[in-house]
Structure 1
């Protein structure tokens, strides 16, 4: 039986200059993005280099992982994986 990955993804090693719109647009081709949040540094106003993106379905999330994990975006290799459940 396949392991469920859920609909929320953790994205790391993003450029510190990535904007929220760029982040959401990066993941939009793979399905309906329900939420896209970059974790921001309150001191600098820039991203800390990671964020979370959620999709309508698990299939869409899986497509995004397969397409973007290990890709070079803005000169950096990004990692896309299922978000850990904080239960």
Structure 2
């Protein structure tokens, strides 16, 4: 997972304001009692940080890979045939 994808997932799931607060203040016990930002700064892979945060915050499995915003072909707003 790229860092940009991590931030997109974080903001999509929690909103831009709360995402920033979580990153600064939420301590991840699974990653050595570091905040999200500390863990990332220390070189933890973004995927490991995201997984630990999702576990702590109770994010359901079906939302951990992000929102599906693609529209099916032929649906209103989708690609033409």
Which TM-score tier does this pair reach, normalised by the shorter chain? 0.3 to 0.5
- Larger C-alpha radius of gyration, 1 or 2? 2
TM-score normalised per structure 2:
0.33
Q: Which has the higher contact order (CA 8 A, sep 6+)?
A: 1
The structure that is helix-richer by fraction is 2
TM-score normalised per structure 1:
0.31
